[in-house]
Amino acid sequence: MRKLFCFLRLSPPNSRRIAAPETVEPELEKYIQDRQAKGRPIPPDVLRSLYALKERRGVAKKSKEDWAFLCDSIERVHLKK
């Protein structure tokens, strides 16, 4: 895992900032950057949920597609009105 220090701005602009954990899974980092590049940043609440998912020993590493699936699922639940 690579060290990542980034801050994401919440909406509205005067609200608090959230910090990424010290280490982020490489494939999750790629997925986050891909979403940013496509102009579809991940909402802060969803991002916090993704950061909370930790790799467990003996479990296969998650691919970028796995993270996309998890993110889409979490977004459906978090963004439901």
pLDDT value of position 59: 77
Q: DSSP letters of the chain?
A: -EE---EEEPSSTTS-EEE--SEE-HHHHHHHHHHHHTT-PPPHHHHHHHHH----TTSPPPPHHHHHHHHHHHHHHHT--
Boundaries of domain holding 65:
2-78
Which residue type occupies 1? Answer: M
* 34-67 pLDDT, tens digit each: 999 999 999 998 998 898 887 777 677 889 999 9
| Average pLDDT score over the chain | 78
Q: How many domains does the chain have?
A: 1
The pLDDT assigned to 29 comes to 92
- Asked whether 70 and 53 are in contact (CB, 8 A), the reply is yes
Confidence of residue 5 (pLDDT cuts 50, 70, 90): very low
Higher pLDDT, 71 or 14: 71
Residues in the chain: 81
Task: Write down the pLDDT at residue 36.
Answer: 96
Number of Cβ within a 10 Å radius of residue 46 = 20
